[in-house]
């Protein structure tokens, strides 16, 4: 069974470009990636399993932070026993968008998922 979590951050409350798309456990749970549009090319990626299987709980996080030069640092990772593990990071010289950010979550391949977003 393929488990994929797509987490999107967008300036509008709908799946629309520009947006950041974070793919956890993609490509048969062999890779995770950061994209700057839906189904776009990977800007940063990491190899390795992330999602453990149906019924398992995995804590994931994403972060978009301003940088002193006016750009943005975009990161994604997992959390185990209260310790953050960075999967990959992408740095942009200019922000992709500014202002409020809306979050969208979905699974791939029509599987159900239970999400508990925290800030």
Task: Please write the tens of the pLDDT for every residue from 62-78.
Answer: 999 999 998 999 999 99
SS3 11: coil
- Beta carbons within 8 Å of 10's beta carbon, 6+ residues apart: 16, 18, 19, 20, 97, 101, 102, 104
With vertex at residue 78, the alpha carbon angle to CA 63 and CA 25, rounded to the nearest 5 degrees, is: 100
Reported residue count of the chain is: 119
pLDDT in tens, 63-118: 999 999 989 999 999 988 889 999 999 999 988 887 778 888 887 766 666 767 66
Confidence of residue 12 (pLDDT cuts 50, 70, 90): confident
Cα–Cα dist 9/64, whole Å: 9
Of the two residues 41 and 50, the one the predictor is more confident about is 41
What token pair was written down for 18?
């520009």
Q: Which helix (H) or strand (E) holds 26?
A: helix 26-29
Q: Cβ distance 29 to 3 under 8 Å? A: yes
Count of alpha carbons within 13 Å of 7, Cβ hemisphere only?
A: 22
């Amino acid at each position: 069974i393929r488990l994929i979590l797509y987490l999107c951050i967008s300036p509008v409350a709908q799946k629309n470009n520009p947006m950041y798309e974070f793919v956890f456990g993609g490509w048969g749970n062999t890779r995770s990636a950061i994209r700057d549009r839906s189904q776009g090319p990977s800007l940063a990626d990491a190899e390795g399993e992330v999602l453990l299987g149906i019924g398992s709980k995995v804590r994931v996080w994403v972060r978009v932070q301003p940088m002193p030069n006016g750009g943005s640092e975009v990161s994604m990772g997992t959390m185990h026993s209260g310790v953050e593990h960075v999967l990959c990071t992408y740095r942009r010289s200019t922000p992709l968008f500014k202002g409020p950010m809306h979050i969208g979550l979905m699974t791939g391949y029509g599987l159900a998922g239970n999400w508990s977003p925290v800030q």
